[in-house]
Amino acid sequence: MSEVAEKVAAELGELQPEQRDTFTGNAEEFAQRIEDLEKQVEEIPGGRVLSTEPVAHYLLEAAHLEDVTPADYTRAIEGETDVPVAAQQEVTEKVTGDGVDVVVNNPQTVTSVTEQLVQQAGEHDVPVVEMTETLPEGEDDYVSWMTGQIEQLAGALDQ
Nearest to 93 by CA among 138, 33, 85: 85
> Are residues 57 and 131 both part of a single domain?
yes
Average pLDDT estimate for 46-73: 94
> Are residues 91 and 150 both part of a single domain?
yes
pLDDT value for 78: 86
pLDDT bin (cut points 50, 70, 90) of residue 157 is very high
User: For the chain, what is the mean pLDDT?
Assistant: 93
> Are residues 25 and 50 both part of a single domain?
no
pLDDT bin (cut points 50, 70, 90) of residue 90 is very high
DSSP secondary structure letter of residue 117: H
Candidate from 32-46, 71-85, 117-131 with smallest mean pLDDT? 71-85
Q: Report if pTM > 0.75.
A: yes
**For residue 137, pLDDT beyond 90:** no
Residue 29: domain span: 2-41
Q: How far apart are CA 122 and CA 128, in angstroms?
A: 7
Q: What is the CATH number of the domain that holds 104?
A: 3.40.50.1980
pLDDT value for 80: 87
Average pLDDT estimate for 82-92: 94
- Cβ neighbours of residue 103 closer than 8 Å, sequence gap 6 or more: 49, 50, 51, 52, 95, 117, 118, 121, 126, 127, 128, 129
Nearest to 128 by CA among 138, 146, 116: 116
- Cβ neighbours of residue 115 closer than 8 Å, sequence gap 6 or more: none
**For residue 159, pLDDT beyond 80:** no
> Are residues 75 and 59 both part of a single domain?
yes
**For residue 40, pLDDT beyond 90:** yes
* Residue percentage of the chain with pLDDT more than 90: 81
For the chain, what is the domain count? Answer: 2
> Are residues 33 and 68 both part of a single domain?
no
